């Protein structure tokens, strides 16, 4: 479709986003540079209050696309709701300790106060527990003191000395890193240590399979538009710098160091490959997480549901 089409003649893609979520950086770049127009679509952003709100909006048909993880997609498919996933980011979290901490490795976590973003079913926490048990015989739920809370609260407690380590999502780990705190181990590093593929996307764009089959040109246009945005944001030239500087207000970076670290970690998470090897890696990781988190995490599906990853309308 030609970029000269009017908004009325271009199919609309309604994306549900969190106001300050990192996906807004990519989609805002799409709209600011009119990549959606070039791809023959009209991208519309609907701001929602939280991840659960985006999932409800998608299920209700209020939006066409959201960002979520493929574990949720597989769980929904196993329950009869045909959702599908295409990659958005491979960025994962990290285990961060204070700059002057004496903790030099996982074995030193015994007896420590560990802040964990999310719940006891957080995937990063399950992986850290598995690694600690496998390598060091530690049962961190008993041999340490886990504290489950929201990421901003955990960051503050680490800075104030109330926690010895924090396992948190990548934007919050990046903020701590920019303040001089030390990354003890990334979640990607945990995956590699457990023999898992670290290049598996952590989150992606999720949509109803029925919608995708009914609107193949719109979905293809959406994929083309976000690919252009990623290419721009991944670059190192003046155009990329300008794009990032324009995003600075919505990134809410406290200072230049935080801005640069957030930018660099976002770039690190841009998917470079998405083929059969990565999908097989995701299926292997699903089996591990299912064994760790059980039914509470994955529902009744003990293996990754067929069709979780969108490979086209054929």
Q: What is the pLDDT of residues 34-85, one digit of tens each?
A: 999 999 999 999 999 999 999 999 999 999 999 999 999 999 999 999 999 9
d(CA 30, CA 27): 5
Identify the weakest region by mean pLDDT among 38-42, 206-210, 234-238. 234-238
* CA neighbor of 45 nearest in space, from 196, 226, 189, 279: 226
Tell me the average pLDDT across 15-19: 92
d(CA 146, CA 57): 33
* CA neighbor of 289 nearest in space, from 302, 306, 278: 302
Tell me the average pLDDT across 225-236: 95
pLDDT reading at 98 higher than 70: yes
Q: What is the pLDDT of residues 255-273, one digit of tens each?
A: 999 999 999 999 999 998 8
């Amino acid at each position: 479709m030609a970029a000269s089409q009017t908004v009325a003649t271009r199919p609309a893609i309604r994306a549900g986003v969190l106001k300050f979520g990192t996906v807004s950086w990519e989609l805002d770049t799409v709209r600011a540079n009119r990549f959606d127009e070039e791809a023959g679509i009209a991208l519309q952003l609907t701001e929602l209050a939280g991840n659960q709100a985006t999932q409800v909006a998608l299920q209700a048909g209020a939006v066409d696309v959201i960002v979520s993880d493929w574990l949720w997609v597989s769980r929904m498919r196993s329950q009869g709701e045909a959702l599908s996933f295409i990659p958005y980011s491979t960025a994962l979290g990290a285990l961060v300790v204070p700059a002057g901490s004496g903790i030099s490795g996982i074995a030193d976590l015994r007896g420590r106060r560990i802040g964990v973003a999310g719940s006891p079913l957080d995937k990063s926490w399950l992986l850290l527990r598995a690694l600690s048990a496998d390598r060091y015989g530690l049962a961190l739920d008993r041999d340490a003191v886990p504290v489950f809370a929201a990421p901003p609260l955990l960051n503050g407690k680490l800075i104030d000395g109330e926690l010895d380590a924090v396992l948190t999502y990548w934007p919050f780990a990046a903020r701590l890193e920019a303040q001089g705190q030390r990354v003890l181990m990334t979640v990607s590093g945990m995956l590699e240590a457990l023999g898992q593929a670290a290049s598996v996307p952590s989150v992606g764009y999720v949509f109803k399979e029925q919608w995708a089959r009914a609107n193949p040109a719109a979905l293809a246009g959406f994929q083309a538009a976000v690919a252009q945005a990623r290419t721009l944001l991944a670059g190192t030239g003046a155009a990329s710098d300008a794009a990032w500087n324009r995003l600075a207000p919505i990134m809410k970076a406290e200072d230049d160091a935080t801005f640069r670290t957030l930018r660099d970690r976002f770039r690190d998470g841009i998917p470079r490959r998405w083929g059969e090897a990565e999908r097989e890696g995701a299926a292997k990781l699903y089996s591990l997480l299912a064994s760790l988190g059980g039914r509470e995490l994955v529902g009744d599906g003990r293996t990754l549901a067929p069709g979780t990853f969108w490979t086209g309308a054929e």
